[in-house]
Structures are given as C-alpha cells and as structure tokens.
Amino acid sequence: MKLSKFQAPKGVSEYFPPDSIQFEYVRDVLLQNAKLAGYSLIELPVFEDTEVFTRGVGESTDVVSKEMYTFEDRGGRSITLRPEGTAGVMRAVIEHNLDKGQLPVKLFYSGAFFRAERPQAGRYRQFYQVGIEAIGYNDPEIDVEVIAVADNAFKALGLKQYTLNITSLGDAKSRDAHRKDLVKFISTLKLDEATSERAKLNPLRLFDDKREEIRSSMQNAPVLLEYLSQDSSTHFGKVKALLESLKINYQVNPRMVRGLDYYTGTTFEFDHPLLGAQSGIGGGGRYDGLMGSLGGADVSGIGFGLGIDRVLMACKAESSLPSSIEPLDLFIAPITDDAKSVSFKLLSELRKSGIRCDMAYGDRGLKGAMKAADKSGAIYALVIGDDEISSGKCELKTMSTGQVISSTLNTSDLISKLGTTK
C-alpha cells in the first residue's frame, strides 16, 4: 500500500527559503533593538507546569479556557505548551532569584508559541514571537523604553503604517473603584451563562469580546481611564509626555484591555491596517502583581510580545524588506575535475576569513555553473578551469554587470578584494 505524503499539522507557520531568509531578518532586527537597550537572552522551556499559565495568565481568558495545548505527561503531571512568554519568564525569575540581583532585570526571548485556535491568515496554532521583560521598577521611563524598543524595531524594518494604541489599566485602587460600577452596569445586561461566568472572573474581559451584540451592549460601560487614582493618572501622563518627547505617535484607546488578565497600568498595542482582521503586530504592558501571584516577591514589571509572523506580513504588505538580504559574497564556478578540488579548498579558506561563498557542485559545464551562480544571488563570481589553475589567474566579476574587478587566484588577494568591495 502506498503511503500518503506527510504534511505539517494544520495551523502551523513554518518557513523555508526564500521566506525563511526574510523571517530570520525580521526576527534578528527585532532582537537587535532589544540588545541595543541592554536586554539579555533568557532561553525558556517550550512547556511548563499548567498552573504557571492558569495562575499567571488568568482563568477568565480565552487563552486559558479555550486555547491551551494541555496534556498529562508520563509522570501524571499536567503540562502545557507555552501559549505566551511572560508567565514563563516570571517563573524563571522567581526560581533563579534573578530579582534579588541588580534591578531592573532586563530579558529578551524568542521562539515558538502554541494556541489551539481556528487557523486563518495571521492566526496560527504554532506561531513565533520576540518578547522583552523589564522587571523591578514602576518607572514611566521604563514603560516608554519598552514601547520604544518595539517602535524602533518597526522603523528599522521600514514600517510606516502601523498605529500605537495605549491606555492605563490603573493600580489596585483604580481598578477596585471601576470594578464596582462596571459590575453594576453588567448586571443590567442580558448575557448567556458562559459570558456571565466569564464576567464574574474578570468583568474587563467583556471589553475584549469580539461578538457584535456584546460590543454594542458595552458601548456605554464605564471605562477604567475615568477611575484612575492620582498616582496612576500622574504616571500615565508622564508616559504620554515621554512618548511625545521621543516623537512616538500614539492614540489613547480607553476600551483596550488586551487578552491576558495580568495587565495593570500602562498597556499598549501596535496595529497594522493592511493585515485585515488580525491586525495586531505586537503589544504588552505592565503586570504589577504577576510575580506575587506565582509565588514570588511583589515586584513590578513590564514587557511586550511581538508576532514575527505578523510583522513579516506587515513588511511584505508595505514592501519594506531589502531586495536582497545577506547575499553570498562569491560563487565559484569550477569547470573541470581539478578545478573542483582547487575551488573546494579555496571555499574553505575564504569562509575562515568571513567571506560568504559557495560553488557549483556536480558535473556542470560553464553554462550550468553560471546558471547556478545566477540563482545563488551572489554579488561576485569566479570561473576556474585548467587554464586558470596553470596561470594562477582568474577573473573576479560582478554578477549584475559582468565587470571584471580583479584577475588573480591568490587567496589573500581575493579576501582583500572582496573585503574592500563589500
């Protein structure tokens, strides 16, 4: 019986050339801007104890109630593939006492995350994120630094059409005052049992409900921005002033609550209008109290998660990516058996000097080797045959124009020429 071909699981975003080159470029630009701001790598497990997410993310969220990949391991423990990054980072900070050292603790991470969602453009069951977390201080300057890292990265990728939405979810005093009036308002609505139970766990969740009937019912609901304490109002005012001082455009969205329960204070989202329904390319906020809920000290923190998949989609929509990303410096076209041996040794020496290079393999003639050179996207090409070996000379040509740059086979001369022409 003939076996059918295997396919990747439905809803998985996987990348292979040439898209993988663009994916890697986007990811690296996002990470580089985190490094420029002093953030250091934390490499996290792909799965955690389920309670890390039920306690950390919040039982009222769709992420916990509907979307987690949870299973029992061979030891009978409940394990969940990570649906987001912050809760796992907090677990690691607590476990390894990172908050006992110099503050703020500034960390970045990247990798695959998993949610059991209905697959569609920009929404995947396995997706990729870059995230940062700054833990230890409740300063407006740190709030804006986190936002600026994302904004700078988007600008470095050439994006122009995204929008930054911000709000404040206040402190405990603010939320307590708001909750009383919000619960009173919700009690006047006709809700199904599931929505009513969800509202009991966290009434703010109804602001995030995508159903039109719920959105319409919540139009006149009291918003948290109207209940901010003096401290929260002052903090949010400083955040806005600092954003303006950095010339980072924003708009205040008083109904934004995001999809996770741990957010407090400054909260933000980046949206891109060319992505349709799944327009969010990243977001985050402050999560004062999250570490305490996971058994750690009551330490403040703020961070973001940026969706690499969606940022790449936004770059393609705006045509902002470079036409060629890290092309080969040199492609060698050997046209005899002896030339193949010489070329192979030459490749090794050039690569040790940091020259990105490749060669034509197999028994190709000049035409086939040059066709391979053209497909490689290399900047320069060398043709090596018996004549070039005996004379010790060959022509280094620019692939785009055919212009001869040099005529030597000497390795050190090649390295020098390729280094100065980059």
Number of neighbours of residue 413 by Cβ within 10 angstroms: 13
The CATH classification of domain 330-421, taken from the options 3.30.70.80, 3.40.50.261, 3.40.50.720, 3.40.50.800: 3.40.50.800
Q: Residue 259's pLDDT band (boundaries 50, 70, 90)? A: low
Q: Distance (Å, rounded) from C-alpha 373 to C-alpha 392?
A: 22
Q: Residue 358's pLDDT band (boundaries 50, 70, 90)? A: very high
pLDDT recorded at residue 49 = 95
For CA atoms 314, 319, 322, 324, give the dihedral sign: positive
Q: For 394-415, what is the mean pLDDT?
A: 82
Q: Could you give the count of Cα atoms lying within 13 Å of 218 in the half-sphere of its Cβ?
A: 22
Q: In 3-state terms, what secondary structure has residue 93?
A: helix
Q: Residue 260's pLDDT band (boundaries 50, 70, 90)? A: low
Cβ atoms of 52 and 18 within 8 Å: the answer is no
pLDDT recorded at residue 422 = 54
Tokens 């697959």 belong to: 119
pLDDT exceeds cutoff 90 at 211: no
Q: In 3-state terms, what secondary structure has residue 122?
A: coil
CATH class of this structure's domain 19-171+229-318:
alpha beta
CA dihedral 288, 177, 140, 278 (to 10 degrees): 80
Report the chain's mean pLDDT, rounded to a whole number: 91
The identity of residue 127, as a single letter, is F
Q: For 383-398, what is the mean pLDDT?
A: 89
Q: In 3-state terms, what secondary structure has residue 323?
A: coil
Q: Distance (Å, rounded) from C-alpha 391 to C-alpha 379?
A: 24
* Peptide bond between residue 140 and the one before it cis (omega within 30 degrees of 0): no
Dump strand ranges (E) for 246-323.
Answer: 251-252, 264-271, 280-286, 301-307
Q: Distance (Å, rounded) from C-alpha 329 to C-alpha 420?
A: 12
Percent of the chain residues past pLDDT 70, beyond the cut: 97
Q: Residue 414's pLDDT band (boundaries 50, 70, 90)? A: confident
Number of neighbours of residue 149 by Cβ within 10 angstroms: 25
For residues 244 and 180, the model is more confident at 244
pLDDT recorded at residue 2 = 60
Which part of the chain is CATH 3.40.50.800? Answer: 330-421
pLDDT recorded at residue 394 = 85
pLDDT exceeds cutoff 60 at 161: yes
pLDDT in tens, 265-274: 999 999 999 9
pLDDT exceeds cutoff 90 at 163: yes
pLDDT recorded at residue 284 = 95
The identity of residue 198, as a single letter, is R
Q: For 337-361, what is the mean pLDDT?
A: 93
The token duo for 239 is 């955040």
pLDDT recorded at residue 162 = 98
pLDDT in tens, 89-144: 999 999 999 999 999 999 999 999 999 988 888 889 999 999 999 999 999 999 99
pLDDT in tens, 37-50: 999 999 999 999 99
Which part of the chain is CATH 3.30.930.10? Answer: 19-171+229-318
